[in-house]
């Protein structure tokens, strides 16, 4: 198993790609390297906390002097001999998010990035959503022929059953127009009304070697995704953890977790189990290099990114449909 950074020359960018025999996992930031005020995510932390944490997080991810941190919104492309899957769907293009200026009416080359990886929208077999927050569902749909249509016409749109039930009930009770910053109307409801969601129990199998595992706390119905194939063991962490600084104290909870105590319990369980198993972590919000392991190193846990090799050749998909 190795991690390679491959250049996408037509786009002037690069992607990190975990390669393990016949399985490849590519991280596509959507977007990447966003500077956020730490207290906008973790209101309980002060400058002294950040100074203490800085030596234990990857370089460049935390700046105590300015009280800022870097975040990504990482969509993961999985290619196996059996299926092509996307884990979560980023922020999307052209979505009205006036209360989130960085997300508002974006125009990003996500589909062009997939094309540079030899993946067309019709090649995607699965779009797996860990939870239905606006920053995880954007590329569910694109504006086509005067309306929001499914971006991936041949894909199974898969979601945890409890998560979908919660937000459908919320829409029926409170209305759909502004729910989830507008994402329910433009990125979720169009899937419900066209191809339909495949709502699965968690824990449960999504496809061979791909499973949901329950991870409540950030939302009631959120799940992580676990990929196993041969010696490959990868956990797609969704919003169980938002930044490497939380590895220094797993009780640090984001301002956006609806059940903070449950979020803490979930995070400690998942990170502890990953440490014992030696799983590769694929966090949704960590900046590059994203793939890594957790180790105990004096503090609670520390995140150790995998070594990244530099590849000169273009990043092309391994498996053609």
* Residue 37: inside a domain: yes
Which pLDDT score, from 0 to 100, does residue 315 have? 46
Q: Are 59 and 66 in contact (CB under 8 A)?
A: no
321 within domain boundaries:
no
The CATH number of the domain where 197 resides is what?
3.60.15.10
Domain assignment of residue 317, yes or no: no
Task: Locate all alpha helices (DSSP H) within 175-257, ordered by sequence.
Answer: 183, 189-193
Residue 298 has what pLDDT? 61
Establish if 140 belongs to a structural domain.
Answer: yes
- Tell me which residue range forms the domain holding 12: 2-311
Among 8, 9, 7, 6, residue whose Cα is nearest residue 17: 6
**Any domain includes 318:** no
Torsion angle in degrees (nearest 10) through CA of 175, 178, 182, 188: -10
CA gap 11, 24 in Å, rounded: 21
> Would the pTM of this model clear 0.75, i.e. be above it?
yes
Residues 6 or more apart from 69 whose CB is under 8 A from it? 35, 36, 38, 41, 61, 62, 63, 243, 245
| 10-residue stretch averages of pLDDT, the chain, 321 residues long | 91 93 95 92 95 92 96 97 97 95 94 97 98 98 97 98 98 95 98 98 97 98 94 94 94 97 97 94 95 80 90 46 32
CA angle, 229 as apex, 226 and 230 as ends, to 5°?
Answer: 135
Is there a contact between 8 and 15 (Cβ–Cβ < 8 Å)? Answer: yes
Whether residue 320 is contained in a domain is answered as no
Give a yes or no: residue 209 inside a domain.
yes
What pLDDT does residue 231 have? 81
Please count the structural domains in the chain: 1
Q: What is the structure's pLDDT at 182?
A: 96
Whether 319 is covered by a domain: the verdict is no
């Amino acid at each position: 198993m190795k991690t390679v950074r491959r250049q996408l020359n037509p786009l002037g960018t690069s992607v990190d790609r975990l390669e393990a025999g016949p399985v490849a996992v590519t991280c596509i930031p959507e977007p990447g390297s966003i500077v956020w005020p730490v207290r906008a995510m973790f209101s309980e932390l002060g400058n002294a906390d950040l100074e203490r944490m800085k030596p234990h997080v990857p370089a460049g991810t935390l700046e105590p002097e300015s009280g800022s941190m870097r975040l990504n919104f990482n969509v993961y492309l999985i290619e196996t001999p059996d299926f092509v899957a996307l884990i979560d769907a980023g922020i999307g293009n052209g979505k009205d998010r006036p209360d989130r200026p960085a997300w508002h009416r974006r125009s990003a080359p996500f589909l062009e990035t997939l094309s540079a990886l030899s993946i067309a929208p019709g090649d995607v077999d699965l779009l797996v959503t860990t939870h239905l927050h606006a920053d995880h569902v954007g590329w569910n749909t694109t504006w086509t022929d005067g309306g929001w249509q499914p971006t991936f016409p041949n894909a199974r749109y898969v979601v945890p059953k409890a998560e979908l039930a919660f937000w459908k009930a919320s829409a029926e009770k409170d209305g759909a127009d502004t729910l989830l910053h507008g994402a329910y109307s433009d990125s979720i409801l169009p899937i419900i009304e066209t191809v339909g969601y495949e709502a699965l129990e968690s824990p449960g199998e999504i496809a061979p070697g791909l499973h949901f595992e329950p991870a409540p706390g950030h939302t009631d119905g959120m799940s992580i995704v676990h990929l196993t194939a041969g010696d490959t063991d990868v956990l797609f962490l969704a919003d169980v953890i938002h930044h490497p600084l939380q590895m220094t104290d797993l009780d640090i909870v984001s301002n956006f977790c609806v059940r903070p105590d449950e979020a803490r319990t979930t995070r400690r369980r998942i990170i502890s189990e990953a440490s014992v198993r030696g799983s590769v972590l694929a966090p949704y919000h960590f900046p590059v290099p994203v793939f890594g392991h957790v180790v105990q190193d004096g503090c609670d846990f520390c995140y150790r990114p995998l070594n990244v090799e530099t590849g000169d050749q273009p990043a092309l998909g391994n498996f053609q449909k």
